[in-house]
Amino acid sequence: MTDAPFAVHLHLDAGDIIGESLVWDERTDRLLWVDIAGRRIHRLDPASGAHDIWPTPDFVAAIGLCTDGRAIVSLRKSVALWDYGSEFRHLADIEPDLPDNRINDCAVAPDGSFWVGTMQNTVDEDGKAMPLTRSSGMLHRVDAGGNVTRLSDDMFCATNTLVWTRRGFVTSDTGLNETYLYDMAQDGRSIRNRRPLHAPLDRGIPDGSCLDDEGYIWQARTGGGGCVVRLSPDGEVDRYVETPCQSATSCVFGGPRRDTLYITSTQYGLGDEHLANHPEEGALFAANPGFTGPPAFRFEI
């Protein structure tokens, strides 16, 4: 295991309740992410500091890029297309028969579809934490026609980490502190043969992830992990990157050369005394780790 020879610094005092779903738009050189419980979407130009914030009509779980320049956005129970400040155009409903579930992590897949992970809702209307008591989460695939297909029969406490590696599809269950490897069907529309990618780590629990150009996984460790871990495609720990925040939530490589690692964080579940002493919780952080990342996949529309 290698120690990280670089520092993570505060880039923007975003004040997010649950910052998540970082994505870099290489067409505009802008960084996008969401604040789930804060019900808002961020867009940042790191070069100029220009920072747009848009409110959302409900909890917002994730954001991705579309081929036509719009964004695809997941709200509490639905997926919508969105043109930065316009109305959210409904595309698909997710698990309408499970009202106590909500959407969690999502990502655009290599084939241009949108993969959606769900979980039991653990955020009340005021953005406060509620207990996680069951494994009711699933993984679904949404196409441009709004068709929703379940990807496997497996259940999750809380779906997170959606990345596609040379070995297959990698996802995690935050509630169980497990990260899994799946085999992909040739048509990309289903997954099978779930098995652990590695033994559970003792630094927090898994949250959002990204890949670098060497095919390694960078996984934010929430739940007090205070780090991002770099994992080989075989699940070996390469290094831990210490973060100023207690719980990192997602990460992505951005910047004109895609060599800056951006990291979101959360205030979720932290007490008032801790937040008073640690105002950096909920901020956006950045580092230059000496690696680059690939461009984001785009939703085919």
Q: 9-299 has which fold?
A: Neuraminidase (2.120.10)
Per residue in 97-154, pLDDT (tens digit) is 999 999 999 999 999 999 999 999 888 787 777 888 899 999 999 999 999 999 999 9
Q: State which H helix or E strand residue 5 sits in.
A: none
Rounded alpha-carbon distances, angstroms, from residue 22 to 28, 169, 210: 15, 19, 9
- Can you list the residues of the chain whose pLDDT is less than 50? none
pLDDT reported for residue 88: 98
10 Å CB burial of residue 138 (0-12, 13-18, 19+) is buried
Q: Is the pTM of this model over 0.85?
A: yes
pLDDT reported for residue 3: 55
Catalytic residues: 207
Rounded (5°) CA angle 293-113-18:
60
For residues 63 and 21, the answer to whether their CB atoms sit within 8 Å is yes
Structure tokens at 194: 């779930």
Which are the contacts of 166, defined by CB distance < 8 A and separation ≥ 6? 215, 233
Per residue in 264-284, pLDDT (tens digit) is 999 987 777 877 788 899 999
Structure tokens at 252: 């992505």
- DSSP letters spanning 197-263: SSPPPSSSEEEEEEE-TTS-EEEEEETTT-EEEEE-TT--EEEEEE-SSS-EEEEEEETTTT-EEEE
pLDDT reported for residue 126: 76
Instruction: Report helix, strand and coil shares of the chain as percent, to nearest 5.
Output: 5, 50, 50
Q: State which H helix or E strand residue 91 sits in.
A: strand 89-93
pLDDT reported for residue 133: 86
Measured distance CA(172)–CA(147) in Å, rounded:
24
Measured distance CA(168)–CA(199) in Å, rounded:
18
Structure tokens at 239: 């290094």
pLDDT reported for residue 26: 98
Measured distance CA(40)–CA(58) in Å, rounded:
9
pLDDT reported for residue 5: 60
HSE-CB for 232 with a 13 A CA cutoff? 7
